Amino acid sequence: MALSESTSPVAVGARYEEVHRRSIADPEGFWREAASAVSWEQPPGERILDSSRPPFYRWFPDATLNTCFNALDRHVEAGRGDQAALIYDSPVTATKRTYTYQELRDEVARLAGVLAGLGVTAGDRVVIYMPMVPEAVMSMLACARLGAVHSVVFGGFAPHELAVRVDHARPKVVISASCGIEGSRVVEYKPLLDLALAEAAHPPSACLILQRPQAVAAMTEGRDLDWVQAMAAASPVPCTTVAATDPLYILYTSGTTGVPKGVVRDNGGHAVALTWSIPNVYGVKAGEVFWAASDVGWVVGHSYIVYAPLLAGATTVLYEGKPVGTPDPGAFWRVASEHKVSVLFTAPTAIRAIKKEDPSGEHLRRYDLSRLRYLFLAGERLDPDTYHWASDLLNIPVVDHWWQTESGWPIVSNCMGIEALPIKAGSPTKAVPGYDVRILDEDGHDSPAGREGAVAIRLPMPPGTLPTLYLDDDRYVRSYLSRYPGFYLTGDGGHLDEDGYLFIMGRIDDVINVAGHRLSTGSMEEVLSTHPDVAECAVIGVADQLKGQVPVGFVVLKAGVDRKAQDVEAELVAMVRDRIGPVAAFKRALVVARLPKTRSGKILRATMRQIADGQEPNVPSTIDDPAILDEIAQALEV
């Protein structure tokens, strides 16, 4: 049954309030208690937080552990070796396979032996350039087993972008595959990797290549090793103990240009925060099936495909497919039904794609979803129309939550394992325990309820969040901490309502200035998304000589809508004028076939804005299909 939804003042949940209050009033006591769920080689001592060098805070500075041991070995030792750890489901290759905790532990230990044989030791970097296959998960865990630092680069990244990341991380080994599969299209990775390493100034000494039958790659003698052959010759190795403050991985944020921005994640804080998050935020118990329908190349894949479910003793699903087209809009419901998924986490973009192709939910009705308890959504702003569609169709709580690559785990969410609060459509609810979230005005003061400002988090942030950027402390301070001393600036704008519910209205640079009026494009998108014919939308601010900026809306219509585009566009303009007012100066709504997005589903609003302003667009390497930009330019008649 779906949770109650409220638009009026809500009675505060006493249980949630108490847990959150304690996490802010006594963070060291709170996280000392949470740390007891992790297996340590050297448990945390008296110092839980090292605050001797602000703004560089370190959690569990005196403790040691191994993340791979916590994710695999300890469950085997506790008698859970026969439980499913990883379910691989690949509609694009018609492959399904389940690995138990013991089977996955044994494969990872042997792979760690391969890497050790190539000279990889604690602190060395390994770049992983892989598709959504079990070997990608094994590669990450094998690095963690050795205390090596992995840097996963999204499979299929352009050679130059891959070369930049290789040069920044300087890996001893690159792990890759011959190809990935995007829907019905085979993407050969190995030629892209060869071009990247030819360009790189600091190429690795060895590459470990998984040959897939869909495209067998040519190997470079003396550098490239075949995965199957290397595994057959290797011996398993035990876990290497590392300091809690040692890095576990580097994840370069998407769309970076020039010197990449590498988010660092440590071992101890990461293990504690993610272990705590699975039962408390997502309401998942050990032994249940958790599915994050994302990619291992993104932070969601790192945290909630690979690490968090395994740290918590749950079963994780690795899906090599799409929400639609592999083979139809029922793909997600098929996977959830077949593998008895308790909690599904995906992006609003995926749900909008399903909704566009199957607005009445006919495909969903073919499957038994009685095990599915919650649908969590994050990654893009969840518009109320998509929320209502999913909630009505599934008849379970649809939980919007908000976080970032930098945070590594949820910042704001309805914490289903603590207390299910009433839902307000358009809000990810309240700050997760550990996070002191504020709305700050231009002068750094708290904004009153209802007034928009910059979303910031008071320092120190909780365990699991980034301690710095790789090799660039100065940039860490400059990018996140300098605008409001004592606070981490998220880069998003929003407001808190009278009940303390957070509403994210988009990136700070998505607030436009129309004739001196500061207006949120997110609020206009919220209006457009309520039109019954609209599947998804985006609003950008376009330069205007008279008003400074004016908004322009782009909408994609639902499948089956057969109306003149100009009629829909006129209705949309009237809706914005009616609900926001003439001050918005909203006069253009353009119907387009699709919106430009990254492979993770983020709409490229900044790139669209550059096209509209007649600039040379900065096209990120993560764009899903560059041809869409030409369609946007044509719609704008630029």
DSSP track, 397-415: -EEE-B--TTTSS-SEE--
Name the strand (E) or helix (H) holding 267. none
State the pLDDT confidence band at 3, using cuts at 50, 70 and 90. low
| pLDDT at residue 258 is higher than 70 | no
Distance CA 81, CA 494 (A): 46
Distance CA 293, CA 356 (A): 18
Distance CA 243, CA 356 (A): 48
Say if CB 14 and CB 418 are below 8 A apart.
Answer: no
Structure tokens of 377?
């959504």
> DSSP string spanning 173-195?
EEEEESEEEETTEEEEHHHHHHH
| 547 falls within a domain | yes
Q: What are phi and psi of 318, to 5 degrees?
A: -115, 110
Query: Can you give the pLDDT at residue 229?
Result: 98
Q: Between these two residues, 457 and 161, which has the higher pLDDT value? A: 457
Each residue's pLDDT tens digit, 212-257: 999 999 999 999 999 999 999 999 999 999 999 999 999 998 543 4
State the pLDDT confidence band at 10, using cuts at 50, 70 and 90. very low
Q: What are phi and psi of 544, to 5 degrees?
A: -140, 130
| 166 falls within a domain | no
Residue 86 pairs in a beta bridge with 99, 316
- Rounded mean pLDDT of 134-141? 98
Structure tokens of 265?
């994640």
Structure tokens of 291?
């599915």
Domain count, the chain: 1
Each residue's pLDDT tens digit, 333-376: 999 999 999 999 999 889 989 999 999 999 999 999 999 999 99
> What predicted TM-score, i.e. pTM, was given to this entire model?
0.85
Each residue's pLDDT tens digit, 260-308: 789 999 999 999 999 999 999 999 999 999 999 999 999 999 999 999 9
Q: What are phi and psi of 429, to 5 degrees?
A: 85, -120
Distance CA 421, CA 281 (A): 12
CATH at 548: 3.30.300.30
| 109 falls within a domain | no
Name the strand (E) or helix (H) holding 464. none
Distance CA 145, CA 108 (A): 8
Which amino acid, 12?
V
Structure tokens of 194?
């060869």
**Structural domain containing residue 619:** 515-636
Query: Can you give the pLDDT at residue 517?
Result: 63
Say if CB 479 and CB 469 are below 8 A apart.
Answer: yes
| 70 falls within a domain | no
Residue 574 CB neighbours (<10 A): 12
Residue 555 pairs in a beta bridge with 537, 591
The dihedral over CA atoms of 33, 39, 43, 47, expressed in degrees to the nearest 10, equals -40
| 553 falls within a domain | yes
Express the helix, strand and coil content of the chain in percent, nearest 5 each.
35, 25, 40
Structure tokens of 461?
């942030």
Residue 83 CB neighbours (<10 A): 16
| Chain Cα centroid distance, residue 22 | 27
Helix (H, G, I), strand (E, B) or coil at 290: strand
| 582 falls within a domain | yes
- The total number of residues shown for the chain amounts to 638
Q: Between these two residues, 516 and 80, which has the higher pLDDT value? A: 80
Distance CA 111, CA 125 (A): 15
**Closest-CA residue to 518 (of 487, 488, 549):** 549
| 555 falls within a domain | yes
Residue 241 CB neighbours (<10 A): 16
DSSP letter, residue 241:
P
DSSP letter, residue 316:
E
